[in-house]
Amino acid sequence: MSKEYCNPIDLEYKFQHYAGNGHREAADPTMVLFKGTYYLFTSMTAGFHYSDDMVHWKWHENRDLDMYRYAPDVRQVGDHLYFCASTRNKPSTIWRTKDPLSDEFEKVSEPFPFWDPDLFEDEDGRVYFYWGCGNVEPIWGIELDRETMMPIGEKVAVIDHGEDVHGWERFNYPGKELTGKSNRKGLAGLVMKWLNRKGRPYMEGAFMNKWNGRYYLQYAAPGTEMPVYGDGYYVSDKPLGPFSFRTNTPFSFKPSGFITGAGHGSSIDDRDGNIIHVSTMRISKNQNFERRIGIFPAGLDEDGLLYCNQNFADYPIVLPDGKYDAKDLKPEYFLLSYKKKAEASSFKEGHPVELALDEDIRTWWAAKETKAWYLLDLGDTYRPHSVQINFAEEGVKELKVDKALRSDIMTNTRYIDSSKELKTRFVLEGSLDKENWFMIHDASQREDDRSHPYIILDEKYEVRYLRVTALQLPYDEVFALSGLRVFGKGKGQTPSKVQNMKAERLENGLDCRIRFDEVKDAQGYNIRYGIAEDKLYSSYLVYEKNEVLLTSLNKGQAYYYTVDSFNENGITYGDTVSKI
């Protein structure tokens, strides 16, 4: 049976309370297939998620396992699952368990302070460790004793900054947009200002895989709150290098679309031997670290290049049964809701109904109350395939709790609320005439808090109108939607082909401006580009615009591109691949 989901994936993202407000968050994911079950550990989750199929995730609470430490790493060594997370001012702890759901973790070692850790067992049983997060120091690597998990030998710098030649690593790239709030004050604010004193990119999030006898060391840059946050990689024949840069980096990169960002991730082989990459996606509106999780099909091509298929990466993704080639996967369903008409029971100033239909998770419609409704008019009758409902946090006030319950990290005094009293309950109804309504999805009795439910309808319902009614929300917050996204297949024709493509690579070699003629019957365009005519692994999706500035190029590397047009009826693929 095929697997279907839509990014950001639907998890129980936990509310974080600090700096004056509350918002949901999860980031820095490590996924592992351990004893037949997929486990997903993310920052600030007060536990972890687990699944049998990577689609339906259950949350398991564990507030004792270094809950307030960023970037948890989990890797299998022998019969155990090893866990560690980040600390700077004291030695970090490495734990292990034979069953994560038992909550029985034993302390193995406290080797040294590290941030953004990654443990890796080689095929010969030797164990290596990688870490690093900052805009000054490199990514480090060292061998660990398999039994004691203590260092053997000296640490080695395995990857260093390259923002002068790697366009995507730049902290200050052309067209850089402002992010959300960073309300840290006092000592915390001074610490963050000092950490960013260089205005240089962060290099972080190391993750090691070994495929076909070669070591693939992945890393993230330039900063988690940026739309260009992505993952690159270096390759070596030895676990501690020397490593060589791969020019199709970044291999995971999503700078545009409904939700942006695809950095600080991990890669695994699923049960069928397919490579899956999971990474951090960015909202960064209520706070800089307001983030979500995305899962992407990935692979190695015939030349050993690692890539993700991130074309339409926040549209429904259908993964076939068994072994597949990720390059061959194409979107099957398209937006029926983009900029359609809507109405609502009320709206707050600055949050009109249009903001739930503009394909931007960083803007949202908000009602004036909790129990409110939002009504979408598709403009015609359709049989939708699926609906993704994206709840937003609008005006959630910070919980005041005892200091002893908050984080002890000096740059943050957050509190994670994992209360089972937090529930998101709603109903989704449909209608043909806006008078007679029928139930499509009833979540009125849900016992969890899921803010991105993806509901598969399988074309069962003919509708013109869809109505979402909120019944219960955490903290009695106002009902807010950043995206009511309806997917299916339209009744018309796919758009015309894109004509008159022109590319202008700027003198710095890192940026390129691409222009093309507007296609009047297109919703938008997907620019696919890469280092060879048959390796267009990167993409940049835009709505309505016919000009794009790519900022992710590597100096001295040749690139090729094409432009596809799309609308609610499907994609018209570009048949011309041109050199940049």
In 13-97 the beta strands, taken as DSSP E runs, fall at: 14-18, 21-25, 27-34, 37-43, 47-51, 58-61, 73-77, 80-84, 94-97
Distance CA 70, CA 73 (A): 9
Per-residue pLDDT, 412: 65
On whether the pTM is more than 0.85, the answer is yes
| CA 380/CA 385 separation, integer angstroms | 15
Asked if domains 3-328 and 334-488 share a fold, the reply is no
User: What gap in Å lies between CA 451 and CA 436, rounded to an integer?
Assistant: 28
| pLDDT for the residue numbered 6 | 98
The CATH-assigned architecture of domain 334-488 is Sandwich (2.60)
Question: Longest Cα pair distance anywhere in the chain, in angstroms?
Answer: 74
Name residue 133's amino acid. C
Instruction: Write out the H or E segment, with its range, that includes residue 236.
Output: strand 230-236
For 231, counting Cβ atoms within 10 Å of its Cβ (0-12 exposed, 13-18 middle, 19+ buried), the class is buried
- Residue that has been written with the tokens 């090729």 in this structure: 560
287 in Cβ contact with 412 (< 8 Å): no
Q: What are the structural domain ranges in the chain?
A: 3-328, 334-488, 502-579
Query: What pLDDT score was predicted for residue 177?
Result: 75
Partner residues linked to 441 by β-bridges: 428
Q: Which residues are bridge partners to 353 per DSSP?
A: none
Ordered DSSP codes for 488-503: E--SSPPPPPP---EE
CB of 558 closer than 8 Å to CB of 274:
no
Give me the pLDDT at residue 196, please: 55
Instruction: Supply the pLDDT for residue 187.
Output: 43
CATH of region 3-328, choose from 2.115.10.20, 3.40.50.2300, 3.50.30.30, 3.10.450.50: 2.115.10.20
Per-residue model confidence as pLDDT tens digits over 302-349? 999 999 999 999 999 999 999 999 999 999 999 999 999 999 999 999
Q: Tell me, what's the pLDDT at 198?
A: 57
Tokens 């955490």, residue?
Answer: 474
pLDDT given for residue 188 in this prediction: 46
Angstrom distance (rounded) from CA 213 to CA 327: 22
Angstrom distance (rounded) from CA 569 to CA 242: 49
Q: How many CB atoms lie within 10 A of CB 190?
A: 12
Q: What's the pLDDT at 180?
A: 54
The letter for the amino acid at 442 is: D
Q: What is the pLDDT of residue 185?
A: 46
> Is the separation of the CB atoms in 360 and 258 below 8 Å?
yes
Please report, as a single letter, which amino acid is at residue 306: L
Asked if CATH classification 2.60.40.10 holds for the domain at 502-579, the reply, yes or no, is yes
Facing residues of 47 across strands?
A: 61
In the predicted model, residues of the chain with pLDDT beneath 50 are 183-188, 191
